[in-house]
Amino acid sequence: MITDKHKKYYFLSVFVFELARTLPHAVLTLFFFDRGIRVEHIAMIQIFYMAAIIIFEFPSGLLSDLFDRKVVYLVSVFFSIIAYALIFFSTTLIMLGISWFLYGMSSAFNTGTLDVSFTRVYKGDGAKLKTFLSMGNIILSISAVIGGFIGSILFRNISHYIFVISCGLYVLSALVTMLFIPSDRSRIKQGKSYKEYIKSMVGNITKMYSSGVLIKLVILMSAVQFFFQPFYQYWQALFIQNGISPATFGVMYVVFRLSFAIAAWLFKKIQHSNRNTYIILFIVIVLTILSNLDIHEWYLIVATPAMIICVYIYLLNLDNCLRENVDVSVLGTVESINNTATRMVSIVVLLCSSLLVSIFDVTVMFTVLIVVFVLVSGVINLLVGKQSNSCKL
């Protein structure tokens, strides 16, 4: 049974996993260009990733709640190894699409696994749960900083062979999990069949969503993708368009990942409120509008990390609210439902971004999608009002 003493091994495992995952991330656009992929096709490749998550997200969450979260996590690592190995050999758009589909399967099976086990450990202690979530995100950000920075250097020397190094790190993450983290098997066999458990689980989930608060949380978390998807896929293209040299991408990737770590630290320190939500949305829209003015090109180097910090604090609070409102026994399934909805919205965002960038430039595309994020988030937060007593939206 997983307890608090296993936390350090969990953090070590996810640190190595994230290091492997992010090693190529700072230079993905350059990698795509080397493979002859045009800028409008980048979003199309990502759609393969999103489609895999939509297909496998719910089944993986259900398996995690029904059986063993450790095994489901290891399945995720296995798919990451296969995906990165295939990317190494990919030379066409179709091959890259298949690779990203397998990568999406990995992300789907990684949802609601060992992190849910620790949510159960800290259930009932909001401060400890918030600290665990914050520490997890800080560790992920630090790992991504190291991975992205090292990857940007290695890419200049060994090119796509960095994917081979990533595969080795994935194996190391799996070994840490297998050797030092116990299984977290379901206890439903105690006088209850799987059929009875599923029936009970469906009833619990239906009851929770009927309250309306969880529905609005899912909508709000999905709306965040109107900010993050264009950022993840096009920040390098945005910088190139605005005259910023690709030589800075490694450093900027580090800055961005540190921004996530700063946001996680601030999330732990501050008491969130409805007022903070509107302040965040206001800051984001002002920074976005200014990016369309004739301002020095280095403005983006300051404004983009500032927006990341604001939006990520906002997203972490939504995630904390979700965990506080959901019974731990079905949290993996609920997380999967939430992520499925999020990925479906992400596909819409990617299609919109691909269309917009073929008509306008990258800066205009960013602006339009971020304005949609702010408007949807503002309206839903106004509708939620004071309905949620357990957490502030």
Quick one: three-class SS letters along 324-335?
HHCCHHHHHHHH
Q: In DSSP terms, which residues pair with 185 in a beta bridge?
A: 68
CA distance 147 to 135: 18
Buried b or exposed e, range 306-327, using 16+ CB within 10 angstroms? ebbbbbbbbbbbbbbbbbebbe
Q: Count of domains in the chain?
A: 1
- Residue 230 inside a domain? The answer is yes
We report the CATH number of the domain holding residue 185 as: 1.20.1250.20
What pLDDT score does 205 carry? 63
Note the pLDDT tens digit of each residue in 83-113.
Answer: 999 999 988 889 999 999 999 999 888 876 7
Please indicate, yes or no, whether the overall pTM of this predicted structure exceeds 0.85: no
CA distance 117 to 100: 28
Q: In DSSP terms, which residues pair with 68 in a beta bridge?
A: 185
Q: Looking at residue 68, what DSSP letter applies? A: B
Flag residues of the chain having pLDDT under 70. 112, 123-126, 185-212, 272, 294-297, 327-332, 384-393
Interaxial angle between packed helices 362-384 and 274-290, expressed in degrees from 0 to 180 and rounded to the nearest 10:
160
What pLDDT score does 123 carry? 67
Full domain range(s) for residue 114: 4-384
How many CB atoms within 10 Å of residue 205? Answer: 17
- Residue 317 inside a domain? The answer is yes
- Residue 391 inside a domain? The answer is no
- Residue 390 inside a domain? The answer is no
What pLDDT score does 390 carry? 47
- Residue 125 inside a domain? The answer is yes
CA distance 157 to 143: 21
CA distance 290 to 44: 29
**Angle, CA 209 vertex, CA 204 and CA 210 arms, to 5°:** 95
Length of the chain: 393
Q: With CA atoms as reference, report the closest residue to 129 among 374, 379, 321.
A: 321
- Residue 150 inside a domain? The answer is yes
What pLDDT score does 389 carry? 45
